[in-house]
Amino acid sequence: MVNQVHLIRHGEVENPDHIVYADLQEFGLSRNGEAQAGEAASFLADRPITAVCSSPLTRAIQTALAIAAPHGIEVEIVDDLIEFGLSVRWRGRRWEELDDHFPGEVAAYLEHPWDMPFSPESLEEMADRMEAAIVNRRLAHPDGELVVVSHQDPVQAARLSLTGRSFFSFWSDKPSHAEVITLEPGHPWRETATWAPATESGPFPPPPGSAS
């Protein structure tokens, strides 16, 4: 089985209208996002990557394809790496309008995301399905290293769950676009390294860590 797992948030998305794109497929990478995915691909090009799996959403697949290309392997689509269920509740709305349609929900997300009874999916449920998907893909491959491309909140939830940390640190050091978080399996897993591309994401008005 693989001995290193690289968790990666997709690159920046083209979203000039500040839409909560959630599980909408039409939102792909911006030029910055393409550059970030290319940098991540270069960073991992010399690693013994034997498998790359991705969320089924366009922005994640584009990032995963860039990373898989130097290794000559196909991207495996894994449905359970999809975006946080909370974002689906807000899907299609502009971030600036959320308080009008869902009073108090953004504040709850920012202040106590582990306790949001209005969310279709809890942090624990998201972490469980992410962890199961990652462990299953790790067991399916006999050697080398595994790349998992998903979204900010799912990556953070999996990171905390696998390493045995509390969801109270959910807002601490959340992954930036195309950031690579390297984990070593164990009991619990151990975070051994992080890396982020030099290409910065453009300004974006919604709150940090915006379920993207």
Query: Residue 135 corresponds to which amino acid?
Result: V
Q: How much of the chain, in percent, has pLDDT values that exceed 90?
A: 91
- State the chain's mean pLDDT as an integer: 94
Q: What does the pLDDT read at residue 103?
A: 97
In the predicted model, is pLDDT for residue 20 greater than 90? yes
- Residue 2's pLDDT band (boundaries 50, 70, 90)? confident
In the predicted model, is pLDDT for residue 153 greater than 90? yes
Instruction: Report, in angstroms and rounded to the nearest whole number, the Rg of the chain calculated over CA atoms.
Output: 16
- Residue 209's pLDDT band (boundaries 50, 70, 90)? very low
Q: How much of the chain, in percent, has pLDDT values that exceed 70?
A: 95
Q: Of residues 202 and 60, which shows the higher confidence score?
A: 60
Q: What are phi and psi of 74, to 5 degrees?
A: -85, 150
Structural domain boundaries in the chain: 4-17+29-84+122-195
Q: Is 64 left (phi over 0), alpha (psi -120 to 50) or beta?
A: alpha
Kind and range of the H or E run holding 8: strand 4-9
Q: What is the pLDDT of residues 159-198, one digit of tens each?
A: 999 999 999 999 999 999 999 999 999 999 999 999 999 9
The separation between CA 196 and the C-alpha centre of its own chain, rounded to angstroms, equals 13
In the predicted model, is pLDDT for residue 94 greater than 50? yes
Query: Residue 121 corresponds to which amino acid?
Result: E
Could you give the CA distance from residue 210 to residue 206 in angstroms, rounded to a whole number? Answer: 7
Question: What CATH superfamily classification does 4-17+29-84+122-195 receive?
Answer: Phosphoglycerate mutase-like (3.40.50.1240)
- pTM metric for this prediction: 0.95
Could you give the CA distance from residue 112 to residue 124 in angstroms, rounded to a whole number? Answer: 13
- How far lies 90's CA from each of 24, 37, 178, in Å? 11, 26, 23
Give the count of alpha carbons within 13 A of 12, CB side only. 21
